[in-house]
Amino acid sequence: MFRLYDTRLRAVTEIQPARRGQLRMYTCGPTVYRPAHVGNLRAYLLPDLIRRNAERHGLSVVACQNITDVGHLADDDESDPQGEDKVLAAAAATGTSARQIALRYEDEFRASCDELNLLPPDFAPRASESIETMIDMVRRLIDSGHAYPVPTGSVYFDVRTFADYGAISGNRLEALRPRSERTPHQSDGGVDADKRFHADWALWKAAPADRELTWPTPWGTGFPGWHIECSALSLTSLGDVIDIHTGGIDLRFPHHEDERAQSDSLAGREVVRHWVHCEHLLFEGRKMAKSTGNVVLLADLAERGLDPLAARLAFLEHRYRQQLNLTWDTLTAADATLRRWRERVADWADEPSRPMCAEYWARVAGALDDDLDTPAALRALRELAADEQIPAGSKFETFAAADRILGLDLVRLVGRPRPAPPPLPEGAEAKLAERAAAREHQDFGASDRLRTELAALGVSVVDTPEGQAWTVSPATP
């Protein structure tokens, strides 16, 4: 079968689904209060690759990815002292309703996923539509002694009833300091005082009934905590044996620890067999995040004339659990590689058909099975493209097969006219030729000078394994 790095077991592990022939996978979906940036989207490429590779092995995949449209507080990532709901805050800032905000960004999220060729999950439940299930689960956790209501109307999970807490992230309960010590500026609005233990978290949060997105319960009016959403939506959509659970690396703690404690306490068993996490995307050296101010959207790529799938290829150049530092240069280079490969694939398709090249295919498939080693798979494809011993028809079949998992639309130009290259400003073509010649003669001084001169003309040049590539800035007349 195939192997993935299991965060809880801290090892690359053979994935054997619990049910014969079927893989059940849950992914923490987006919080729909702003557009998803390419860092978020990298986290969703992971389940897409797992799915495509599992299907290659003949498994039928049942995937669930929730939509968080309520309950994700800004202070769950410890940045907002008020603990404001992210969707409600966005609604207040724009003078619309929470529902409108959520629907708008849910729709934009789906569009971004489509642009990146991310296959849609089988279930995409909205948190706000499963509140009754969450309330029922909170009640069951209280009845079984894992949770307790407090006079304010909130309900807390009693973490000391879950002995194995911390196994995913390596955080030991006794070593966890109270949050107020970790972030002295922060207050939990006075609710903290009712907690039995500082690491307990709210399953249900009391709130005034006139606040949007609140529901009545036996304990009081309020809204669910973010962590119970994922327990409720995963258990109801996939049952209590889930083969793989994915998410961004920052979700290991507290989100996944808390979700695991809740789900396992409800089910009376280990629900998730493998936790798999995607490392962060950095942009020009810093973690991509709204708070860092270095957010890049797929629309920003389009604005620079880059194919959105250039982001997908740039992601694939690194393994999912390596940090990846994206720059406009790497995106431009990926865009050029995509164009070049699509043209070559179309050329090869014109030649007599031949079977796939078994040796290169084994390398591609083996790399994917080895903890999604996509850089190794791409290296094999680059070598295949350059291998003069392999007939064009075989190259075509092998690239087409690899693309069913890589999802780069490499067969886009087969049987179709080639798109015209973007028109170059006056004088740029000669400089590009001069620069290519300079690089051939390893005259890097001249090559750098020409790069600067081309930039002044609005042409940005990058060097890729396939040679120099360029984009023409749309501002150029």
**Binding interface with ligand AMP (CB under 6 A):** 28, 30-31, 39-40, 42-43, 247-248, 250-251, 278, 280-281, 287-289
Q: In whole angstroms, how close is the CB of 100 to ligand AMP at the nearest point?
A: 18
Eight-state DSSP code of residue 334: H
Q: Which stretch binds Zn ion (CB under 5 A): 151-159, 189-197, 228-236, 459-467?
A: 228-236
> For 337, what's the count of Cα atoms within 13 Å in the CB-facing half-sphere?
26
Interaction partner, residue 30 (Zn ion, ligand AMP, none; CB < 5-8 Å by kind): ligand AMP
Distances (CA, A) of 171 to 75, 159, 202, 259: 19, 13, 19, 15
Residue whose CB is less far from ligand AMP, 36 or 378 = 36
Residue whose CB is less far from Zn ion, 199 or 230 = 230
Interaction partner, residue 428 (Zn ion, ligand AMP, none; CB < 5-8 Å by kind): none
Three-state SS for 408-432 is CCCCCCCCCCCCCCCCCCCCHHHHH
Residue whose CB is less far from Zn ion, 28 or 333 = 28
Interaction partner, residue 121 (ligand AMP, Zn ion, none; CB < 5-8 Å by kind): none
Q: In whole angstroms, how close is the CB of 38 to Zn ion at the nearest point?
A: 20
**Which of 406, 411, 452 has the alpha carbon at shortest distance from 431?**
452
Residue whose CB is less far from ligand AMP, 289 or 413 = 289
Residue whose CB is less far from ligand AMP, 255 or 431 = 255
**Which of 177, 157, 168 has the alpha carbon at shortest distance from 251?**
168
Rounded to 10 degrees, what is the CA torsion of 238, 240, 242, 248?
90
Q: In whole angstroms, how close is the CB of 311 to ligand AMP at the nearest point?
A: 12
Q: Is 77 exposed, middle or buried (0-12, 13-18, 19+ CB in 10 A)?
A: middle
Interaction partner, residue 288 (Zn ion, ligand AMP, none; CB < 5-8 Å by kind): ligand AMP
Q: In whole angstroms, how close is the CB of 150 to ligand AMP at the nearest point?
A: 27
Q: How many helices (H) and strands (E) does the chain have?
A: 15, 15
**Which H or E run contains 179?**
helix 179-182
**Which of 82, 69, 62, 79 has the alpha carbon at shortest distance from 21?**
62
Interaction partner, residue 118 (Zn ion, ligand AMP, none; CB < 5-8 Å by kind): none
Amino acid residing at 66: N
27-46 mask for Zn ion (x: CB under 5 A)?
-x------------------
Residue whose CB is less far from ligand AMP, 31 or 154 = 31
CB contact burial 153-162 (16+ within 10 A = b; e otherwise): bbbbbbbebb
Residue whose CB is less far from Zn ion, 203 or 230 = 230
Number of residues that bind Zn ion (CB under 5 A): 2
Rounded to 10 degrees, what is the CA torsion of 291, 296, 300, 302?
-160
- Which residue of the chain is nearest ligand AMP when measured via CB? 248
Interaction partner, residue 230 (Zn ion, ligand AMP, none; CB < 5-8 Å by kind): Zn ion
Q: Restricting to residues 3-32, which ones interact with Zn ion according to CB under 5 A?
A: 28
Q: Does 230 bind Zn ion (CB under 5 A)?
A: yes
Enumerate binding residues for Zn ion (CB under 5 A).
28, 230
